[in-house]
Amino acid sequence: MRATVGIIGAGPAGLLLARLLHNAGIDSVVLESRDRAYVERRQRAGILEQGTADVLRAAGAGARMDREGLRHDGIELRFDRRRHRVDFPALTGGRSVTVYAQTEVCKDLIALQLQDGGPLLFEAEALAVEDAGTGAPRVRFRHEGREDVLECAYVVGCDGFWGVARKAIPAELVQVFERTYPFGWLGILADVPPSHDELVYARHDRGFALLSMRSPSVSRLYLQVPDGTDAGEWSDEEIWDELERRFETADDWRLERGPITQKSVTPMRSYVHEPMRHGRLFLAGDAAHIVPPTGAKGLNLAVGDVVTFARALTHQQETGSPDLLDAYSETCLRRIWQAERFSYDMTTLLHRAPGATGFEDRLQLARLERIATSRAAETDLAEGYTGLPFGG
Tell me whether residue 304 is in a domain: yes
- 57: domain CATH number is 3.50.50.60
Domain count, the chain: 1
Which is nearest to 48 in space by CA: 59, 38, 37? 59
Q: Which residues partner with 186 through β-bridges? A: 223, 265
Catalytic residue IDs = 72, 201, 293, 297, 385
Tell me whether residue 9 is in a domain: yes
Which is nearest to 198 in space by CA: 334, 284, 296, 266? 296
Tell me whether residue 40 is in a domain: yes
**pTM (2 decimals)?**
0.95
Tell me whether residue 306 is in a domain: yes
Tell me whether residue 322 is in a domain: yes
Tens-digit pLDDT profile for the chain (392 aa)? 999 999 999 999 999 999 999 999 999 999 999 999 999 988 777 899 999 999 999 999 999 999 999 999 999 999 999 999 999 999 999 999 999 999 999 999 999 999 999 999 999 999 999 999 999 999 999 999 999 999 999 999 999 999 999 999 999 999 999 999 999 999 999 999 999 999 999 999 999 999 999 889 999 999 999 999 999 999 999 999 999 999 999 999 999 999 999 999 999 999 999 999 999 999 999 999 999 999 899 999 999 999 999 999 999 999 999 999 999 999 999 999 999 999 999 999 999 999 999 999 999 999 999 999 999 999 999 999 999 888 64
Cis ω before 275 (30° cut-off from 0): yes
Which is nearest to 210 in space by CA: 191, 184, 180? 184
CA distance 61 to 58: 7
Which residues lie below 8 Å from residue 330, measured CB to CB, with a gap of 6+?
none
Domain that holds residue 348: 2-71+98-178+269-352
Pairing of strands 199-203, 74-79: parallel
Tell me whether residue 228 is in a domain: no
Tell me whether residue 274 is in a domain: yes
Tell me whether residue 157 is in a domain: yes
Q: Give, as one character, the DSSP assignment of residue 389.
A: P
